[in-house]
Amino acid sequence: MEPLYRKYPIFIENSLTGKKEIFLPVSDGRVGMYVCGPTVYSDVHLGNARTFTSYDFMFRYFKHLGYQVRYVRNITDAGHLENDADEGEDKIAKKARIEQLEPMEIVQRYTVDFHEVMEKINALPPSIEPTATGHIVEQIQMIKTIIENGWAYQSNGSVYFDVENYNTKGGDYGVLSGRKLEDLQSGSRALDGQEEKKNAADFALWKKASPEHIMRWPSPWSEGFPGWHLECSAMSTKYLGEQFDIHGGGMDLKFPHHECEIAQNVASSGHKGAKYWLHTNMLTLNGKRMSKSTGNAILPKELFTGQNPLLSKGFNPSTVRFFMMQAHYSSILDFSDDALMAAEKGHDKLLGAIETLSKLQPSESSTYNVQDWVDRCYIALSDNFNSPILISHLFEAVKFINSCTDLSIGLSKGDLQLLTEKMNCFAFDVLGLRKEESSDSHKEALNKAMDLVIELRAKARDNKDWDTADIIRKQLTEAGIQLKDGADGTSYTL
């Protein structure tokens, strides 16, 4: 049977060219995809979750079309400086110093947190999840190659990429972001260590560690640590080759991170790395970009439990994922409690219709062109992964399904099977929603049980039986159920 990608070719908005292009993989039938993963020094926030959910959606669609996919998403566990420039304090080392822990304890704690959030939001694990500290050897070797090719220089134990020399010899630093070298040089901030560079725009491939720097490794140049940009060039090359298909990340990584990656790739191999560079847009809160560094962020676990003053209640992870899928990955998505409430209604309506569909009986003939609907869904997905248009088509089908109580409207056996298959496929396999979190009957049963538990706890508190009341709250918390006491009584969230 011919794979679906032959029938439904994908068109991608390539950040490298600024154009929408037909997706032609380096190797026929295979997709190599690299996505810049989290820096594990704190809890993952919702903006991070949106980025990784978007690429999980693409990963799922490639697999659904029949591609053999190698999805690499790294863990940054070293070398990420506080100001994302060449100077400052490593974020992981800083957190370790503040909490008086080993850096790898910080890494382990927040890597586990990241995986837990991704599992809850139903993101598939990547094919490979390499770490920066696990690839120091590869990074040192890449630096050696870049130096040998004449694109970098040593200075006081550090190694810097020579941006001006790179551009003079045919490179194009700024090809991704559209920035001009002369603007970068004139706009550079005065940072410690600038005197080591030939030009202000040069960036670090290796930094000599100061005496107080915790995370350090031996190298031919000094005891130090790799520059932040280097790790992704080294790991994408190792696992996907010098030329691969897709490199993704958040919009904030376009410059300088991805710009520097491209320069490193060209300087070491002559190739830019990926053919297609993709960037997800921001998830905003109160109209501003979510960011851990500014404090304008909300944690996914707060969304799931409702433990945030901006929320009226908790929302199940499948609803949160549906909320994210309602906007195109390249569009800004603004968070609000009202938007999540609306997403919850849409989520439950969609999954309720799929449940209704499973109970319908076929008719002798169809009054709905299912194949045309299927084609339009695939066209939406293949048009730069247009999830909001796909969802609009799904609700067109929802409207039809809910009208099928009228016996004069129906589907033939073949069309009923096709619609059932594709509704389940698009909702669960591609969008990644979770079926078990949609059952109204289960919700009703849980609500009745919780009403009883809350009533028993209230009676215990009225009788000043604080031990029993505390045991009820504690055991519910351990089961993932949070009680929230308020002026209107006690409510619960999962």
Look at the chain and report how many structural domains it folds into: 3
Phi and psi (nearest 5°) for 20?
Answer: -85, 125
What is the chain's mean pLDDT, rounded?
A: 90
Of the given ranges (106-110, 191-195, 232-236, 474-478), which has the lowest mean pLDDT? 191-195
CATH assignment at residue 205: 3.40.50.620
Same domain (yes/no): 181, 307: no
Q: Half-sphere exposure of 77 toward its Cβ, with a 13 Å CA cutoff?
A: 23
Same domain (yes/no): 204, 339: no
Same domain (yes/no): 88, 222: yes
Q: Which percentage of the chain shows pLDDT scores above 70?
A: 90
Same domain (yes/no): 363, 257: no
Same domain (yes/no): 418, 472: no
CATH assignment at residue 348: 1.10.730
Same domain (yes/no): 261, 303: no
**323-359: per-residue pLDDT in tens?**
999 999 999 999 889 999 999 999 999 999 999 999 8
Report the DSSP pairing between strands 224-226 and 203-208. antiparallel
Same domain (yes/no): 82, 120: yes
Q: Answer yes or no: are the C-beta atoms of 377 and 427 closer than 8 Å.
A: no
Same domain (yes/no): 106, 119: yes
Helix (H) / strand (E) containing 7: helix 4-7
Out of 259, 280, 301, a domain closes at: 280
Same domain (yes/no): 330, 405: yes
Domain span at residue 448? Answer: 442-493
Instruction: Give the SS3 label for residue 154.
Output: strand
**What does the pLDDT read at residue 350?**
98
Q: pLDDT-derived band of residue 83, with 50, 70 and 90 as boundaries?
A: very low
Out of 260, 280, 300, a domain closes at: 280
CA nearest neighbour of 236 among 71, 451, 469, 403: 71
**168-204: per-residue pLDDT in tens?**
988 899 999 999 887 776 444 444 456 889 998 999 9
Same domain (yes/no): 348, 368: yes
Same domain (yes/no): 262, 306: no
Out of 219, 252, 280, a domain closes at: 280
Same domain (yes/no): 24, 129: yes
Phi and psi (nearest 5°) for 222?
Answer: 180, 170
Q: Peptide bond before 103: cis, by omega within 30 degrees of 0?
A: no
